[in-house]
Chain A
Amino acid sequence: EAQVTQNPRYLITVTGKKLTVTCSQNMNHEYMSWYRQDPGLGLRQIYYSMNVEVTDKGDVPEGYKVSRKEKRNFPLILESPSPNQTSLYFCASSLSANNEQFFGPGTRLTVL
């Protein structure tokens, strides 16, 4: 089944404790991206990757890191999480930035 998977689905952590949210797709997509969604602010792009080893900042990259060492994986790293990073996070993949985005199920992160 073609899909985008994210783990964990739910995470409660404390300020400053490094964490990684994994994202994997099995559709051989070139383009992958991370979004956060907050009430009243919609879906905002954090980082995107147009291909392996190519990543770039979206609208809200501060406090996040990403890497794209393999085509299928695009992990999101929070080196020192803060409470303002409490949010619902979505990973997505597509053939390109001009094609349909396929979204993962979401990761609900709470930083205390």
Chain B
Amino acid sequence: QKEVEQNSGPLSVPEGAIASLNCTYSDRGSQSFFWYRQYSGKSPELIMFIYSNGDKEDGRFTAQLNKASQYVSLLIRDSQPSDSATYLCAPGSSNTGKLIFGQGTTLQVKP
């Protein structure tokens, strides 16, 4: 089992729809969780972080965390073609300093 698992996709949604991206992780010690967006050939950039169980909303983005299930998700409402990118899930390090990123989910938003 991979330490951080994401469906690689591509996930294709029509413009205006809700895109749902999922991530599971194996390190129960992780306390912080990050979602990065990466456009092709560019560097990753942070779009959301979450520390506590439940939901966190920021504009069109909602991150959901369930530590008991070791599951974190990202919802993108009213998806736009500019949201087409790869989304990387990254738990923070529990104690070693080592970081593991998910392989990323490629999202395609079709006009």
| Interface assignment of A59: CB less than 8 Å from any CB of chain B | yes
Q: Which residues of A contact B44 (CB under 8 A)?
A: 43, 90, 101, 103
The interface of chain B, by Cβ under 8 A from chain A, is 8, 31-32, 34, 36, 41-46, 49, 88, 90, 92-93, 96-104
Cross-chain contact A98 with B43 (CB below 8 angstroms) = no
Q: Give the contacting residue for B92; candidates A56, A99, A103, A106; CB below 8 A.
A: A99
| Cα distance, A33 to B98, chains bound together (Å) | 9
User: Main secondary structure on chain B at its contact with chain A?
Assistant: loop
Q: Give the contacting residue for A56; candidates B36, B46, B98, B100; CB below 8 A.
A: B98
A-B contact count (CB 8 A): 64
Cross-chain contact A100 with B34 (CB below 8 angstroms) = yes
Per the CB 8 Å criterion, the residue count for chain A at the interface is 25
Q: Which of A5-44 contact B (CB under 8 A)?
A: 31, 33, 35, 40-44
Additional A-B contact list (18), CB under 8 Å, known A41-B103, A56-B96:
A31-B97, A35-B101, A43-B44, A43-B104, A44-B101, A56-B97, A90-B43, A90-B44, A97-B92, A98-B32, A98-B92, A99-B32, A100-B46, A103-B44, A103-B45, A105-B42, A106-B42, A106-B43
| Interface assignment of A76: CB less than 8 Å from any CB of chain B | no
11 pairs from A and B in contact (CB 8 Å cutoff): A35-B101, A41-B103, A43-B44, A43-B88, A97-B92, A97-B97, A100-B49, A101-B34, A101-B99, A104-B43, A106-B42
| Interface assignment of A50: CB less than 8 Å from any CB of chain B | yes
Of all chain A residues, which has the CB nearest B32?
A: A98
Q: Which residues of A contact B98 (CB under 8 A)?
A: 45, 48, 56, 58-59, 97
| Cα distance, A31 to B97, chains bound together (Å) | 9
Cross-chain contact B92 with A42 (CB below 8 angstroms) = no
Q: Which residues of B contact A101 (CB under 8 A)?
A: 34, 36, 44, 46, 90, 99
Cross-chain contact B99 with A45 (CB below 8 angstroms) = yes
In the assembled complex, the CB of A21 is this many whole angstroms from the nearest CB of chain B, namely 14
Q: Which residues of B contact A106 (CB under 8 A)?
A: 41-43
Of all chain A residues, which has the CB nearest B44?
A: A103
| Cα distance, A103 to B39, chains bound together (Å) | 13
